[in-house]
Structure 1
Amino acid sequence: MTVKKTNGLFLRIISALIIAGPAYLAIYHGAPYFNFMIALFGLLMGWEWSKMCLGEFKFPGILLSTFCGGIAVLPFLGIPIEEALLIAPILCTVLFALSLHKQGRIWFAIGSLYLALPICAFLFLRSTGDIGLSFVFWLACLVVATDTGAYAAGITIGGPKLAPRISPKKTWAGLLGGMTSAFLTGFIFATVFEWEKSLLIAILSTVLAVVAQMGDLFESHVKRRFGVKDSSQIIPGHGGILDRLDGMMSASVLLAALIIATNGHLLTWF
């Protein structure tokens, strides 16, 4: 391994360790710490999305960033977070109008929905009774396991590319490796926490792994569309907040949607 790659890997590890501590504490203690963390992520994601789509961060970007960060504050004002999902389509139109002469205005405007959905999902999952803490840790771990398994299988097995025009390094073997890692993670969590339906939770973890990879591919498509490698350089060795949370964003939305669609019946698995 070259000195450059070694330094890059070391930097990634150090950055991950520095972030992991505060993130763990915020998730563990819940509100208001978890809300403050999500608010910070929302502000930064709005900034990154604006810079990526418009190439600048001016009033439209500030508006998007403030909206995303403000969602996590709504519960303290006695306002349900669902209200943000009613505002998001209106804001989408406003952002489009404000960036009318910019080439990336459509993608930028879509950001109000793209970012608001997972932010609301994160807050919803953490607030889901006593299981909320385990939910968020499980989701975070299975996405990390998916990425790790996909990377390991991709470099050791290789083979046909998954989406060569979007992400040339991703392979079908990597996808299967990620799904396998997620399945094992789900089964381990179900066993350790003594959840009711361990096999079903492992299968659900596999489905969430596929959705996480789709979320990763979606952001890769947007970055390729605007010719950027990373959403930002705010995390040394990793890129931006969007680069780190893209898979978790899509997986959290699906998990929250399934809980709501089943009227909470999915919670009986845990």
Structure 2
Amino acid sequence: MDRNTLKEILTKVKEGELDVEKALDALKDVPFKDLDFAKLDYHRGIRVGYPEVIFTEGKDINHLRGILLDMINRDANVLATRMSKEVYERVKDISKNMVYHEIARILIVNPKDVEKVGKVAVVTGGTADIPVAEEAAVTLEAFGNNVVRIFDVGVAGIHRLFSNMDKIKGSSCIVAVAGMEGALPSVLAGLVDVPVIAVPTSVGYGANFKGLSALLTMLNSCAAGISVVNIDNGFGAGYIASMINKGFFRNGVVK
């Protein structure tokens, strides 16, 4: 449940279009629904403006099916992240009202055509970083943001980035996804006047330490205006970028 749904229920009660008992039934799972193996936080959309997101990796398949079955009946755009193709094949029979994004490894439950605002650029250092970037991009789009994708413009061929700056300009913020040494966010932050959200990936050879070297590079960047999320955390970057982008519109600052 989100804030708009709650307002709609309360307005109908006030105007006599909905009786109190039916309103209570609609609100029975606020603040959460207890499935024993999971406590589904249906109050989150009211508190923070975004619905609960399901992290699927590591969950028992029967538990995951139970969670999805309950959420199918909710009128909300719900994301299930880190879902492998194998797991999707085991849950896709639950409903036709789901869309799976294989590269991003995201399942969208009750997908909606939401109005999109602003612009967020999602940029990668290499092609191997695209799955993490797509996790960010699909998250952004599901939450109502326009996204421009610029892939494979890392520092090994910096001219590729410069030739795409026109696409990046005008963004409310930038999600910069890179593995190896993780230099891309620093370069971008020195060229733009908006926040850069740096996403280190686990792409790289042995001394990359599965993304640790890229993470440390980004944390130690000399360029200002960078925030850093955890290794391979495309969802987290997309979530923060959505808050920044939509904040511009709430506060009347439209780029």
Query: Normalising to structure 2: TM-score of the pair?
Result: 0.28
Q: Counting strand residues as a fraction of each chain, which structure ranks higher?
A: 2
Whose relative contact order is higher, 1 or 2, with alpha carbons under 8 Å and at least 6 apart? 1
Q: Counting helix residues as a fraction of each chain, which structure ranks higher?
A: 1
